[in-house]
Amino acid sequence: MTSMFSSVKMGDLTLKNRVFMAPLTRNRAHNESAVPSGMAKIYYAQRASAGLIISEASQVSPMGKGYVGTPGIYDETQVRGWKEINDAVHAEGGKIFMQLWHVGRISHTSLLPDNQKPLAPSAIRAQAQTYTESGMADVSEPKAMTEDEIKQTIADYKHAAQCAKDAGFDGIEVHAANGYLIDQFIRDKTNQRTDNYGGSIENRARFLFEVLDAVLEIWPAGKVGIRLSPTGTFNDIADSAPEETFGTIITKLNDYNLAYLHMVERFPGIGADNKDIKIIEDLLKLWNGFYIANGDYDAMRAQDAVDAGHADAITFGRPFIANPDLPKRLEIGAELNEPDQDTFYGGGKEGYIDYPFLEDSEAA
């Protein structure tokens, strides 16, 4: 039996447990500068007992922004803000990766420089909404990226990877899941291009692998992970043959010797049917490396997944929002704080840095 609370070697790092913190958008960064707020330093340091923290998704450029109040990782002020956070996490004995993000078509013109149209592989508007300064709004119609814009975006990922390194992160995760830009290139519902970035699976995956090649010029492979969501439909995404599409991608990913593959197996509140579960199981048979599972896991399901060899570690999302000391609570079977969904996105310290630790609850 492999304990969830035993140390584990992942890529170039040794981590203190297998209870990882999932990337969690909280919309509390300074909106104009995209610099993380001062509260974020407290928030992340509080959760440093995780085996690994994967940061909230952070846009690699101003054109990568899709929601109000999300942080960036492309200029010096953002680097300084993140460095303070990383120093605080490290002071508490934690490890933290930066999740690199470009939302593609899941954006609104009001969020982008000069009210430009969002970028996407094809000019197909998503049936989705985003969070703007005026509240929730339908996403804007995107424009199909030119090859020059694709090259520039790949350069943006490389620059962001360097910024993450300068900020003192322990590694990076390339966000290729949940219907955002890289996922939009991968899936045939959103990619209807006829050039070298469309058509065949190999062409649709080209953007992903060119991004990986770019960030690997900055980081060693043992400090780079990738997140995929092969069966996900979030943000109006789909593929006609997900097992074939992602099977091709995962097979090629094996050649990269990355730190890990992180997959969204299911979304909170959305049941995964047997077909989806089988697709994930079949895809994992192709993967040769460290695997992080994500998808509405509780303590028992997580331990069972590790015991069975299904996963090497589990990322927890909402439980980490409400329980800064989640690994300790899970290990001793303590009661968990309930998350307040009304404070998930935006706002101040309430529902962000004021959830009690176990000792605070016992002393009350």
The residues annotated as belonging to the active site are: 180
Pairing state between β 135-138 and 8-10:
unpaired
Secondary-structure breakdown of the chain: helix, strand, coil percentages, each rounded to the nearest 5: 35, 15, 50
Q: For the chain, how big is the Rg over CA atoms in Å?
A: 19
Tokens 């995956």 found at: 205
Integer angstrom CA distances of residue 202 from 31, 188, 209: 37, 12, 10
Cβ within 8 Å of residue 101, ≥6 positions away: 57, 58, 59, 60, 64, 70, 175, 180
DSSP structure class, residue 118: P
Do the Cβ atoms of 191 and 206 come closer than 8 Å? Answer: no
Whole-angstrom Cα distance, residue 265 to residue 116?
34
Do the Cβ atoms of 118 and 180 come closer than 8 Å? Answer: no
For residues 221-257, b (16+ Cβ closer than 10 Å) or e, as one string?
bbbbbbbbbbbbbbbbbebeebbebbbbbbebbeeee
Alpha helices in the chain (DSSP H): 38-46, 76-91, 147-166, 181-186, 201-204, 206-215, 242-253, 274-284, 299-307, 318-322, 326-332, 358-363
The DSSP string of 127-173 is: S-EEEETTEEEEPPPPEEPPHHHHHHHHHHHHHHHHHHHHTT-SEEE
